[in-house]
Amino acid sequence: MKKIIEFIKKNKIGNFKENVSLKNYTTYKVGGLSKVLVYPKDTNKLILLLKKLKEEKVKYKVLGYGSNLIFSDDVFNGVIIKLDLFNKVKIKDTVIIAGCGVSLIKLSYKAQKEGLAGLEFASGIPGTIGGAVFMNAGAYKSDMGYVVSEVKVITPELKIKTLYNKDLNYKYRNSFLKQNPGYICLEAKIVLRHGDKKLIKELMETRRQKRLLSQPLEYPSAGSVFRNPDGDFAGRLIEECGLKGYKIGGAKVSEKHANFIINEGGATASDVKNLINYVHDKVNEETKVDLKIEQEFVNWE
C-alpha cells in the first residue's frame, strides 16, 4: 500500500487518509478499517488512480454515503474511493445534470425550489446520485429509472462513455451498473417536469412526517433491508414471524418498522449480517417466501 500512497502524493490525485474506520462512512456505523481512503480531484485524476490500482492489482471500492453497504469488521486491504468532489449541479429548464457525489436528498429539495416535479420520491433517500443510479433507488412507486435519461460512466477499460436509459436496464432495485460493477457513474442527466412549488413541497413534507412516525430514523440503519416481494411487504412478513425487537449483539429488528435493522449501540458488522441472515431464514422457513436482500456485503470473502 506504500507504493499506492506514494503514487497518490506524487500525482496529486487528491486528499487521502490512512487507516480510517469505515464506521464513519456507512449509515449502519459498522465496519473495519480501510488502509487508504482517497478523494480524487477530478475525472482525469480518478482514471489515473484506477489505472494504477488495476496495474498493481490492488482492490478498491467506490463509496457514496455508504447507505446501502455493510463492510465486514476485517481490514479492507485496499483503497476506498470517495467521489464527494464530483458535486456540480446544472439545471436548464426541466433537465438537471448532477455529479455522482451530489446528495440525492439535497437535489430533490433543489428541484422543488425550481418548481420541478418527479424527484419527490427521493426526498428521504440518504444516498448520492452515483449510488442511487447504481442501485435504482426508489420509493413511493417511483425510482431513478423513471427520471434518469442518461449517465456518463467510466468503463472497465477506463474509457468515458454515455449510457442511455435503455442501456441501463432499470428494474426494481436493479440496473445494468449494479450487474456490471466495473462501470463507475460520473454524472447523471435527470429529466423532470414543471410543477407547482407549493404542492411539491407539501407532498415532500407529508412524506417526511410519515417517515418520522413510521421509521426508526433516530438510530443508525441502512433503510429497508429486504425488497418487497410481489404483492406483499417484507415488513409485514417479518412482523408476522414475531421478529420485531429480535436482537443479535447490538443489532436489532426495529420495533417501529420490521424491515429496518438498527444499530442500537455497539453493533458489529457481524451482528448486522447475522441478524439479516437469521431474519431471512426464519421468514423463508415460516412463510416459504425467499426475501431478497437489498444491501450489499463488502469485504466478507
* DSSP letter string, 185-234: EEEEEEE-EE--HHHHHHHHHHHHHHHHHHS-TTS---SBSBPPPTTS-H
Confidence of residue 301 (pLDDT cuts 50, 70, 90): confident
Instruction: Tell me, yes or no, whether 282 lies in a domain.
Output: yes
Find the domain containing 122 and state its range: 89-199
For residues 171 and 253, state if they share a domain. no
In this structure, the answer to whether residues 144 and 170 fall within a common structural domain is yes
What is the pLDDT confidence band of residue 208, given thresholds at 50, 70 and 90? Answer: very high
98 and 62 housed in the same domain: no
Active site amino acids: 173, 224, 294
152 & 101 share domain: yes
Total number of domains constituting the chain: 3
**How large a percentage of the chain has pLDDT more than 90?**
96
Q: In 239-251, which positions are buried (b, 16+ CB within 10 angstroms) versus exposed (e)?
A: bebebbebebebb
Assess if residue 206 is contained within a domain. no
Q: What is the pLDDT of residues 85-127, one digit of tens each?
A: 999 999 999 999 999 999 999 999 999 999 999 999 999 999 9
Which amino acid does the sequence have at 214?
S
What does the pLDDT average to over 198-221? 95
Q: Based on the fold, state whether residues 156 and 224 are members of the same structural domain.
A: no
Q: How many CB atoms lie within 10 A of CB 57?
A: 6
Which of 149, 170, 199 lies at the terminal end of a domain, its last residue? 199
| 71 and 20 co-located in one domain | yes
- List pLDDT tens digits, range 172-187: 889 999 999 999 999 9
Q: Are strands 184-191 and 148-154 parallel, antiparallel or unpaired?
A: antiparallel
* 216-64-97-160 Cα dihedral, nearest 10 degrees: -150
Q: Are residues 43 and 127 in the same domain?
A: no
pLDDT tens digits, one per residue of 228-284: 999 999 999 999 999 999 999 999 999 999 999 999 999 999 999 999 999 999 999
Tell which of 62, 82, 102 closes a domain. 82
